[in-house]
Amino acid sequence: MKRLLSGLLALLTVLSLTPAAHAEALAVTAQACILMEKTTGQVLYAVNEHQQLEPASVTKVMTMLLVMEAIDSGALAYDDMVTASAYACSMGGSQIWLKENEQLTVEDMLKAVCVVSANDCSVALAEHLAGSAEAFVERMNQRAKELGMADTHFENPTGLPASGHVTSAHDIAVMSRELILHHPDIRRFTTIWMDTLRGGESSLSNTNKLIRFYEGATGLKTGSTNAAQYCLSATAERDGMELIAVILKSPTSPQRFESAKVLLNYGFAAYTLVTADPPQPLRQLPVTLGDAPAVQVRLEGENTFLTTKSRAAGIEVQVELEERLDAPVEAGRQVGKLTAVSDGETLAVIPIVTEQSVARLTYWQIFQRCLRMAFCGGAA
């Protein structure tokens, strides 16, 4: 177990990466910011990332996450009808002007949340899913706790001003990553530039201007209030790598978008995802005195890691494996490692573990095996 844990820790710690927060300052105009890579969760740049600030409508990333989790689990369907309550219609701020008892599908309401940050639809979805906005907020805070969002407390599903409603750039990146990593269908909505609802009667134009003006933009959510100023969780993908740039408390709307572009440009220019495959297929390892003669082995966890582009070109992959195992062998036992190296520096270490268990032969089984060997040898 200690060997396995040490191997996993080595995998999670990519020695070649030095967060840019400690290396150079980027031209970001905001109180707090962070740049995170989606697949690994690696933080590439951060300033005041744990400072508790008001997130405005970036709050809706959690609302979107809970709705998508319900859809993907089968508890909710895109074509379910949602009825707008008087309370949902009273939200104000960004909205599509729902009328009390008006019905729209989950898909249309989610689209309105993602594209125009509709507060009325956010509350209507919350009430439909949890029974009340208050119950939904409890789910939001519980999910935040499960995700390790220690800087966060939600008071509503919209991000409208409320005492104690705070989060951090780090926590927004965490919930944004959870959404885009496990619920990629959200892109159907977050990448919309312009659309309509109600049979063409209501026009939608995305509040996230990066969707139209930044190559590879995939989302995700804008927000602004007088107190929060201008906020953004921006996601974009290029060459198979998706980045999350969070901007909190930027003085103007153009500055939040420009700051997000600075972060994203930096990430795409400096980093790349690399897949470290063994030079040859991993062989079975023979097992002494086992009820099976050999055991198959595999890489433990993902073999994709993040590194700087300067190191990616010269990566060499080395595999170390034990020659033979003595039974019993437990499944998941570390029996070797794959190491990715560039210019003499270790970039990642991935444990190699057994796929299944192999029990030790009993004395009677060993005796029977000896008899068979003797008999076969005599007959020959």
In this structure, is the dihedral angle defined by the CA atoms of residues 66, 67, 71 and 77, taken in order, positive or negative? Answer: positive
Region at 301 (left for phi over 0; alpha for psi -120 to 50; beta for the rest):
left
Residue type (1 letter), 372: R
Region at 229 (left for phi over 0; alpha for psi -120 to 50; beta for the rest):
left
99 is catalytic: no
342 is catalytic: no
Neighbours of 368 (CB within 10 A): 12
- Given the residues 16, 57, 122, 250, the one annotated as active site: 57
User: How many residues are given for the chain?
Assistant: 380
**b/e string for 55-69 if b means 16 or more Cβ within 10 A?**
bbbbbbbbbbbbbbb
Q: For residues 335 and 324, what is the distance between their CA atoms, to the nearest angstrom?
A: 9
Tokens of residue 146, six digits? 């499960």
- Calculate ∠ Cα 79-116-50, nearest 5°: 105
- Given the residues 16, 85, 94, 117, the one annotated as active site: 117
168 is catalytic: no
Q: For residues 138 and 156, what is the distance between their CA atoms, to the nearest angstrom?
A: 9
Omega before 254 cis (within 30°)?
no
Q: Strand ranges (DSSP E) for 251-314?
A: 271-275, 285-288, 294-295, 297-299, 304-308
Enumerate the active-site residues. 57, 60, 117
